[in-house]
Amino acid sequence: MEPTPRRVQILLDAGKVRRVGERLRARQSLLLGILGGLGAGLVAAFLWAVIVGMTGLQYELDWLPMIGLGFLVGVSVRACGRGMDRRFAFAAALIALVMGLLGSFFSTALATTGQGVGGNLGEILYRHGNAAIPLRLFLANWGWPDGLALTLTVIEAYFLARFRLAPSQIASLAPRGALPPC
């Protein structure tokens, strides 16, 4: 019979917690987090559209790039912004939503404009002067799997964007002798 694990209550030193919190808040930057998330989102959306445009595998690869995009945006906002507040998570979710729609739009446009419409995306935009045809194609091809993948992308970016303390960092906030020996 294995012993059941017992909960260990750690009493934290209030002064240390306050100093660490002030130090962490001083180095967080929402602007850097947003810029990092936008950069990662644009790169991911561009690569997604280029790969789909080159291979034509739009429906086979539709959900996977969105999940990767959400991961990149969330981790970039956390790494660049070092934020502990919810505003970093909301910013990452909004960036993932916009970049997911943008990547889906361009991948749909690149995969379908040459099929029955005549020409590639650049030629169509040049001839017509607007994005009406690719937008109509995007809306016609959008379905519930795309919405589900986009929802998962936004949730993933939200949860990955906030900086959290590791258990070892939390344990370092306890006064000496407060932790039971292992």
Cα 132 to Cα 109, 136, 152, distances in angstroms: 11, 6, 28
pLDDT band at 117 (very low <50, low <70, confident <90, very high): very low
pLDDT band at 23 (very low <50, low <70, confident <90, very high): confident
User: Is the per-residue pLDDT at 98 higher than 60?
Assistant: yes
Q: Whole-number mean pLDDT of the chain?
A: 78
User: Is the per-residue pLDDT at 99 higher than 70?
Assistant: yes
The Cα–Cα gap between 42 and 101 comes to 11
Q: By the 8 A CB rule, do 130 and 100 touch?
A: no
pLDDT band at 38 (very low <50, low <70, confident <90, very high): very high
Residue percentage of the chain with pLDDT more than 90 = 30
Lowest mean pLDDT among 53-57, 97-101, 120-124, 153-157: 120-124
Q: By the 8 A CB rule, do 92 and 165 touch?
A: no
Averaged pLDDT for residues 71-92 = 93
pLDDT band at 97 (very low <50, low <70, confident <90, very high): very high
User: Is the per-residue pLDDT at 173 higher than 80?
Assistant: no
Lowest mean pLDDT among 18-22, 58-62, 101-105, 123-127: 123-127
The size of the chain, in residues, is 182
Q: What is the pTM of this model?
A: 0.76
pLDDT band at 156 (very low <50, low <70, confident <90, very high): very high
The Cα–Cα gap between 98 and 152 comes to 14
Cα 151 from chain centroid (whole Å)? 11
User: Is the per-residue pLDDT at 132 higher than 80?
Assistant: no
pLDDT band at 163 (very low <50, low <70, confident <90, very high): confident
Q: Which of 68, 76, 79 is nearest to 103 (CA)?
A: 68
Residue that has been written with the tokens 């519930």 in this structure: 144
